[in-house]
């Protein structure tokens, strides 16, 4: 049992126990101070201004008078001074003083006046040290240190700094307060300053520790929360080590922090000594700083730091060693301003550790407990928080999902109802869970505006959804304005793709002043604007320009108002709006924190394929279930797309009514799903099974009840994780959800980075390289004269990081999002008797048959009866029958490849043959035409000296071709070339790619691990050309090198290349490619 020593007041002892601090940590690091003694601990700096007689000036005495009432002092050891006791520390006065800057606040902690900030390296016992070593997987090594220390005590006897004290404190300590000569009367004589540690912390004094012979490692009557969970860790010690530990358990490990430094032990950086003490007690090496900004400094002048950059304080810099794992765990807070300040400080210190090549993570406390000590004391599982902590880059991405602006109204209700927005509000944000009536809530606002003659503009990102919402709030869609009584006078709805002068809306932002502009699902609208491969590709620069002007006109006009609505509304949208409009107006925000009382029961199937999920689906239908099924794909080539799911279920359940809703069926006049978006609640009642694609991913509310018995989701990682969650919420009724999610998403944005700096650096570097190639080719475009919308680009970068992070752990991101929404995840169960392997083979056979049929039907279309004019008109036609879609597809293939369209060609195109051939063509036969091609592509997407950098970089091939040439790829493609891993050019290939791994990722989108062999690297690069490697032999002597040869060159590409080369002379290839593929052409 460890009792409270007499140099620690009872209130101070209990305060630390209440912070989940082990008593043995308390007795080593805490002392109570009273009367004049605190002055010596706080006012010892030689930078303090004194009177000529050496006495402290009166203003300081008045300022610090409160410390005479007593308090506790904590300090640790000094890693910059051989781990001797540190003079610097903190004092918590029992009666704090008011903050002169913020009179309503008190200053809880005092630190030595005019002394640079230090960090807390608290003293620990061998017992605590072993627990920390075990957590860090360094137990065996630390046990050896224990044995060495034990043997040393046997040789030297118990004493000195590591002695185990039985009984009272060392001689002379009772009079220690008088030693510091700071009498109550403050005489005129000079005051001796404290230049060494207090007696109870002196290396030569015995430790102020009381134990009993039977105490072992117990914490006495005040049991520490971590005692039970840690006590088992040392139970397997050998007899000798057990004796050694029991003998020195409560001795101080005087070189603990040196051991931490030398062995790269993981660290946690927290704020406040008590938090570090709590974490040390829990088995983690923790260093405390006196506040979130206390770990680094900004240079006071360039003379002090030539680069004028922030730098870590020396204490932390010493521990910032390469590859050390460092986690930052600051206090939890919910105040928006505090969150911004803490986030900025955390980012600052994390970046400095990252620059030192540390592996930085962030442990975020979930609340409501403010500090980690409170969290542990309340029974929180810190081990779980620590093990699942995101990296610093992942944490940064998580910040991009948050809304930290101060809400104007906070609600907690299942339905928003009618909104009361104050007059004069310019930027209105509605953040409310799915299904709480966001769209309906602004219906009265729209009707009032129309009644007053104020125009309303509704903007979305999917045509069918905007049509449905426009009808609901009483305004026409852009295609309906001719039939509307008011025409365009009082506004309309349109897709953001049409936000340019050449669209059917002939949109001009200058015509929209004093209007109400509504952007529904605004997060997805902005992302669609910046990245979509729809028709907006042709006009993205103009759309961004018009959107920016629209936002400026709306917010800066007298009656204008912008309404933003999204369940996932974040700072990114608000910052984009403010930046685009050029204003710093605080938004009026309504935040609805409501979560369902029960939430969905989500049955999660965590297998590598969805086969058990599908088996359970069929079993559910056999038992009379009526499922609503959502998936992320449609095409016949996709095993789990809408087409194949429909075919399988129709064959198994021929008597049931099945409806497939995807981008094809809703535009097919002959299909039941044609035009169904605006009347889903009426149509869906007539069907037993409904299968949908992302065409109704957002903006649709299916409110019918007691019809669908379940919702089934199959997500292969095609769209962002928030889109997957959105699609599960289209059915509002809280029926069970059955879910399969791929472990990793498909595709990436930019170079795939989750760091904004890395992502944007990659884009800027590619831009500069591509511009240089264009200038070398004689293009007069100057990169310095090109304008790029920086606000839009930074928003794109942050949203791209968010998407990329979600793709890395796609399954985890989807599940975590569902839990955050208040739903419950349980393991999915398959009650089907069908063998999963047989079922999977059956589905694959069905998919193959469907896909083969589709390819054959496309190839069999008779194109002779159609004129070129009719074919071009067909491409512009919105509604298409299945035959018309096949005609359009065949026409496109003919124009792309200039080959007879066969089923095999259709399949090759579906698997990305065109971009592979295009790259190979410009690397070889078409090399002389590359500069002109890139110049024409750049010109096509440039508008008034403005361009969109991500589109520009995607459209340029010059940098990629140059990189392939630098790597020597043309030489590897020489006919008959045999390749061995030890070939000089293959070794050179490895050297270049390993030295430029970041550039390889940026240019080719592939990662090159350092362990990759030359042949593996070459194979990955050849894949970008649609080629591969095949082992053809093995040397019979010596190292017996494997012999490889490039394969795939005989796949018909020579015929395509010849046709392209011929057409380049007439510009007909260029005309078609720029029209159909403005980026990919």
- What pLDDT does 207 receive? 36
At 88, is the secondary structure helix, strand, or coil?
Answer: coil
| pTM greater than 0.75 (yes/no) | yes
Q: What is the pLDDT of residue 337?
A: 81
Residues 412 and 580: their CA atoms lie apart, in Å, by 32
My answer on whether omega of the bond before 368 falls inside 30° of 0, hence cis, is yes
906-961 pLDDT, tens per residue?
A: 999 999 999 999 999 999 999 999 988 898 888 888 877 788 999 999 999 999 99
- pLDDT band of residue 6 (cuts 50, 70, 90) is very high
Residue spans in the chain of domains classed CATH 3.40.50.300: 409-592, 601-744+809-847
User: What is the rounded distance in angstroms from the CA atom of residue 460 to the CA atom of residue 1005?
Assistant: 31
Query: Which phi and psi (to 5°) does residue 269 adopt?
Result: -100, 120
Residues 790 and 580: beta-carbon distance below 8 Å: no
**595-649 pLDDT, tens digit each:** 888 889 999 999 999 999 999 999 999 999 999 999 999 899 999 999 999 999 9
Q: Quick check: 1023 pLDDT over 80?
A: yes
- Helix locations, 861-1007, DSSP H: 868-876, 882-897, 903-910, 913-923, 930-940, 949-955, 958-966, 969-972, 984-995, 997-1004
Predicted pLDDT of residue 747 = 83
Kind of pairing, strands 106-107 and 97-98?
Answer: antiparallel
Lowest-pLDDT choice from 177-186, 346-355, 696-705, 777-786:
177-186
pLDDT at 163: 37
Q: Which residue has the higher pLDDT, 90 or 754?
A: 90
What was the pLDDT predicted at 237? 61
Res. 782 pLDDT band, cuts 50 70 90: low
What DSSP designation does 660 have? E
Residue 755: predicted pLDDT:
86
Residues 6+ apart with CB under 8 A from 157: none
Q: What is the 3-state secondary structure (H, E, C) of 786-843?
A: CECCHHHHHHHHHHHHHHHHHHHCHHHHHHHHHHHCCCEEEECCCCCCCCHHHHHHHH
Cα(195)–Cα(44) distance, integer angstroms: 8
Cβ atoms of 886 and 857 closer than 8 Å? yes
Residues above pLDDT 70, as percent of the chain? 88
- Average of pLDDT values for 787-796? 90
Most trustworthy range by pLDDT among 11-15, 369-373, 384-388: 11-15
- Between CA 329 and CA 338 the distance in angstroms is 15
Region 71-86: what's the mean pLDDT?
A: 96
Measure the CA–CA gap between 281 and 227, rounded to whole angstroms.
9
Question: Which 3 state secondary structure label does DSSP give 328?
Answer: strand
On the question of pLDDT at 816 being above 90, the answer is: no
Question: Alpha helices of 378-535 — where are they, by DSSP H?
Answer: 382-387, 392-399, 438-441, 443-451, 463-473, 522-531
Polymer length in residues for the chain: 1081
Q: State how beta strands 627-631 and 84-85 pair.
A: unpaired
Q: Which two tokens stand for residue 948?
A: 């969109």
Q: Please give the pLDDT value at position 754.
A: 86
Which residue did the predictor score with more confidence, 1023 or 676?
Answer: 1023
Q: Please give the mean pLDDT across all residues of the chain.
A: 86
CB under 8 Å to 387, separation ≥6 — which residues? none
In degrees, rounded to 5, the angle at the alpha carbon of residue 1019 between the alpha carbons of residues 1014 and 1024 is 130
Judge whether residue 170 has pLDDT over 80: no
Q: What are the strands, taking DSSP E only, across 390-546?
A: 409-411, 427-431, 456-460, 491-495, 516-520
Residue 1073 has which token pair? Answer: 């490619």
The pLDDT of residue 784: 59
Query: Which pair of tokens denotes residue 219?
Result: 């914490």
pLDDT at 1075 over 60: no
Q: Which fold would CATH assign to domain 601-744+809-847?
A: Rossmann fold (3.40.50)
pLDDT band at 222, cuts 50/70/90?
very low
- By C-alpha distance, which of 934, 937, 951 is closest to 763? 951
> What is the reported pLDDT for 39?
93
CATH class assigned to 409-592: alpha beta
Say if CB 135 and CB 124 are below 8 A apart.
no
- Tell me the percentage of the chain whose pLDDT exceeds 90: 61
pLDDT in the model for residue 901: 95
Q: Which of 188-192, 711-715, 892-896 has the lowest mean pLDDT?
A: 188-192
Query: Residue 204: what are its φ and ψ, rounded to 5°?
Result: -90, -5
Q: What is the DSSP string of 240-280?
A: HHHHHHHHHTTSB-TTHHHHHHHTT--EEEEESHHHHHHHH
For the chain, give percent helix, strand, coil, nearest 5: 45, 15, 45
Structure tokens at 174: 């009772």
Indicate whether 174 pLDDT > 60: no
Count CB neighbours of 509 within 10 A. 20
Burial of residue 767 (CB within 10 Å: 0-12, 13-18, 19+) is buried
């Amino acid at each position: 049992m460890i009792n409270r020593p007499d140099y620690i007041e009872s209130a101070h002892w209990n305060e630390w126990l209440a912070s989940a601090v082990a008593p043995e940590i308390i007795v080593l690091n805490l002392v109570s101070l009273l009367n004049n003694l605190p002055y010596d601990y706080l006012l010892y700096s030689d930078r303090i201004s004194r009177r000529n007689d050496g006495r402290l000036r009166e203003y300081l005495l008045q300022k610090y008078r409160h410390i005479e009432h007593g308090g506790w002092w904590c300090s640790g050891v000094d890693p910059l001074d051989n781990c001797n006791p540190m003079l610097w520390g903190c004092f918590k006065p029992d009666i704090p003083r008011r903050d002169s800057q913020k009179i309503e606040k008190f200053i809880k902690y005092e630190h030595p006046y005019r002394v640079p900030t230090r960090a807390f390296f608290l003293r620990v016992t061998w017992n605590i040290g072993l627990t920390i070593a075990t957590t860090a997987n360094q137990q065996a090594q630390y046990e050896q240190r224990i044995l060495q220390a034990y043997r040393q005590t046997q040789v030297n006897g118990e004493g000195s700094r590591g002695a185990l004290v039985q009984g009272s404190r060392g001689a002379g300590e009772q009079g220690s307060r008088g030693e510091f000569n700071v009498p109550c009367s403050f005489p005129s004589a000079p005051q001796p300053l404290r230049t060494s540690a207090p007696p109870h912390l002196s290396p030569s004094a015995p430790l102020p520790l009381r134990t009993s012979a039977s105490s072992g490692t117990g914490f006495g009557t005040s049991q520490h929360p971590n005692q039970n969970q840690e006590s088992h860790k040392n139970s397997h010690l050998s007899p000798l080590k057990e004796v050694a530990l029991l003998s020195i358990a409560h001795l101080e490990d005087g070189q603990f922090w040196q051991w931490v430094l030398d062995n790269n032990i993981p660290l946690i950086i927290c704020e406040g000594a008590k938090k570090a003490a709590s974490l040390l007690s829990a088995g983690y090496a923790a260093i405390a700083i006196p506040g979130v900004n206390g770990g680094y400094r900004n240079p006071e002048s360039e003379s002090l730091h030539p680069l004028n950059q922030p730098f870590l304080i020396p204490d932390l810099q010493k521990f910032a060693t390469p590859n050390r794992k460092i986690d930052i765990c600051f206090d939890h807070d919910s105040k928006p301003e505090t969150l911004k300040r803490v986030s900025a400080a955390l980012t600052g210190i994390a970046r400095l550790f990252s620059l030192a090549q540390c592996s930085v993570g962030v442990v975020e406390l979930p609340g409501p407990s403010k500090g980690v000590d409170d969290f542990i004391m309340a029974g929180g599982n810190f081990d779980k928080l620590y093990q699942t902590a995101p990296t610093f880059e992942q944490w940064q991405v998580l910040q991009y999902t948050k809304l930290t602006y101060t809400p104007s109204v906070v609600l907690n209700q299942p339905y928003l109802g009618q909104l009361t927005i104050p007059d004069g509000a310019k930027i209105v944000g509605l953040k409310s869970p799915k299904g709480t009536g966001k769209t309906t809530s602004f219906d009265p606002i729209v009707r009032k505006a129309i009644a007053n003659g104020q125009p309303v503009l509704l903007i979305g990102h999917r045509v069918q959804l905007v049509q449905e919402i426009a009808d609901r709030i009483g305004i026409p869609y852009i295609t309906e304005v001719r039939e509307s009584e008011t025409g365009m006078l009082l506004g309309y709805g349109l897709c953001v793709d049409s936000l340019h002068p050449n669209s059917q809306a002939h949109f001009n932002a200058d015509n929209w002043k004093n209007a109400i502009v509504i952007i529904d699902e605004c997060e997805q609208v902005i992302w669609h604007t910046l990245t979509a491969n729809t028709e907006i590709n042709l006009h993205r620069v103009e759309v961004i320009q018009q959107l920016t002007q629209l936002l400026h006109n709306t917010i800066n006009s007298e009656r204008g108002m912008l309404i933003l609505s999204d369940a996932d509304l974040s700072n990114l949208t608000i910052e984009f709006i403010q930046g685009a409009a050029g204003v710093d107006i605080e938004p009026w925000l309504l935040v609805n924190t409501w979560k369902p009382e029960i939430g969905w029961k989500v049955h999660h199937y965590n297998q590598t394929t969805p086969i058990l999920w599908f088996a359970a689906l069929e079993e559910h239908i056999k038992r009379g279930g009526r499922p609503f099924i959502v998936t992320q794909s449609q095409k016949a080539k996709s095993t789990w797309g809408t087409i194949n799911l429909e075919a399988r279920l129709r064959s198994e359940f021929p008597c049931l009514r099945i409806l497939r809703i995807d981008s094809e069926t809703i535009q097919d006049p002959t299909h039941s799903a044609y035009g169904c978006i605006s009347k889903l609640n009426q149509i869906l009642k007539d069907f037993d099974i409904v299968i949908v694609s992302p065409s109704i991913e957002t903006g649709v509310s299916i409110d019918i009840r007691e019809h669908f018995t379940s919702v089934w989701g199959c997500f292969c990682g095609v769209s962002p994780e928030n889109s997957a969650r959105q699609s599960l919420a289209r059915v509002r009724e809280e029926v069970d959800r059955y879910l399969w999610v791929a472990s990793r998403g498909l595709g990436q944005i930019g170079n795939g980075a989750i760091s904004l700096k890395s992502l944007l650096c990659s884009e800027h570097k590619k831009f500069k390289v591509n511009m240089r190639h264009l200038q070398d080719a004689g293009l007069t475009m100057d990169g310095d004269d090109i304008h790029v919308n920086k606000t839009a680009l930074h928003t794109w970068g942050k949203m791209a990081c968010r998407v990329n992070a979600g793709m890395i752990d796609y399954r985890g991101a989807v599940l975590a999002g569902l839990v955050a929404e208040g739903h419950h995840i349980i393991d999915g169960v398959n009650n089907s008797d069908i063998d999963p392997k047989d079922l999977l083979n059956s589905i694959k056979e069905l998919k193959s048959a469907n896909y083969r049929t589709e390819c054959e039907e496309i190839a069999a279309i008779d194109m002779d009866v159609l004129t070129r004019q009719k074919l071009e008109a067909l491409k512009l036609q919105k509604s298409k029958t299945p035959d018309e879609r096949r005609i359009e597809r065949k026409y496109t293939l003919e124009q792309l490849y200039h080959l007879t369209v066969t089923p095999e060609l259709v399949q090759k195109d579906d698997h990305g043959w065109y971009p592979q051939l295009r790259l190979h063509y410009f690397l070889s036969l078409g090399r002389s035409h590359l500069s002109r091609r890139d110049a024409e592509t750049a010109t096509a997407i440039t508008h008034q000296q403005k361009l969109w950098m991500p589109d520009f970089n995607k459209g340029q091939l010059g940098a990629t071709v140059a990189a392939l040439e630098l790597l020597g790829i043309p030489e590897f493609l020489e006919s008959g070339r045999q390749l061995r891993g030890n070939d000089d050019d293959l070794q050179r290939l490895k050297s270049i790619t390993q030295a430029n791994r970041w550039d390889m990722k940026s240019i080719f989108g592939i990662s090159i691990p350092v362990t990759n062999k030359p042949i593996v690297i070459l194979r990955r690069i050849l894949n970008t050309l649609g080629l591969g490697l095949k082992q053809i032999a093995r040397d019979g002597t010596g190292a017996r090198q494997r012999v490889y040869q490039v394969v795939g060159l005989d796949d018909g590409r020579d015929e395509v290349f010849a046709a392209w080369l011929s057409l380049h002379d007439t510009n007909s290839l260029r005309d078609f490619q720029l029209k159909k593929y403005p980026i990919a052409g």
